Amino acid sequence: MTTHTPHEVPVPEDRFIISKTDPRGIITYVNRTFMEVADYPHVMVIGQPHNIIRHPDMPKAAFYHLWHTIKRGEEWFGYVKNRTRTGNYYWVFAHVTTDYQDGKPIGYYSVRRTMPDALKPTIETLYAEMRQIESRYGDKADMEAALKHLMAAIHQAGYASYRDFILQSYLQHAPACEEAFA
């Protein structure tokens, strides 16, 4: 397993990181930006679980929430810290949607763009709190407790829902992208 380093890799502001998976989360496609930022050649990621790029600083509950959302056929937005092949990291604003064929889900698309730097301290603190909660419980209970903490923090900050928090905080710090969510 690759160790992680404290070096952040910048995500180009004018490019998207794109990947596609099958219904089980196995990578079936990545674009050139994915390969450049994550430092993975195409042959090393196709056929691998998407969590090959999961950074250990990410709370399990974030992915628990993601999977529950997309399995309902809803789109998911979130902030994700990923790990490169060499152990560096990069932050992204992620948008995950279900890919359908003849009305049936056949996989998932993930389109990621740079995350505004101003949001990183807040999200890092929130994710650290969630990981701490996860370490107290077992299995599913840890993720549910961490999600409960996340939702309480979001409501305390004045947001009506997780989706509102993610989209509004992103738009507040990256207004040039506002038309993408109009």
**Rounded to an integer, what distance in angstroms lies between the CA atom of residue 34 and that of residue 112?**
9
Please choose, from the candidates 92, 55, 88, the residue with its C-alpha nearest in 3D space to the C-alpha of residue 174: 92
pTM, 2 dp = 0.89
Domain ranges of the chain: 17-175
**Rounded to an integer, what distance in angstroms lies between the CA atom of residue 77 and that of residue 90?**
17
Note whether 134 and 59 are within 8 A (CB): yes
pLDDT, residue 6, reads: 83
Q: What is the pLDDT along the chain (182 residues), one digit of tens a residue?
A: 456 668 999 999 999 999 999 999 999 999 999 999 999 999 999 999 999 999 999 999 999 999 999 999 999 999 999 999 999 999 999 999 999 999 999 999 999 999 999 999 999 999 999 999 998 866 778 889 999 999 999 999 999 999 999 999 998 887 555 455 44
**CATH code of domain 17-175:** 3.30.450.20
Q: From the CA atom positions of the chain, what is the Rg in Å?
A: 16
**Rounded to an integer, what distance in angstroms lies between the CA atom of residue 50 and that of residue 57?**
16
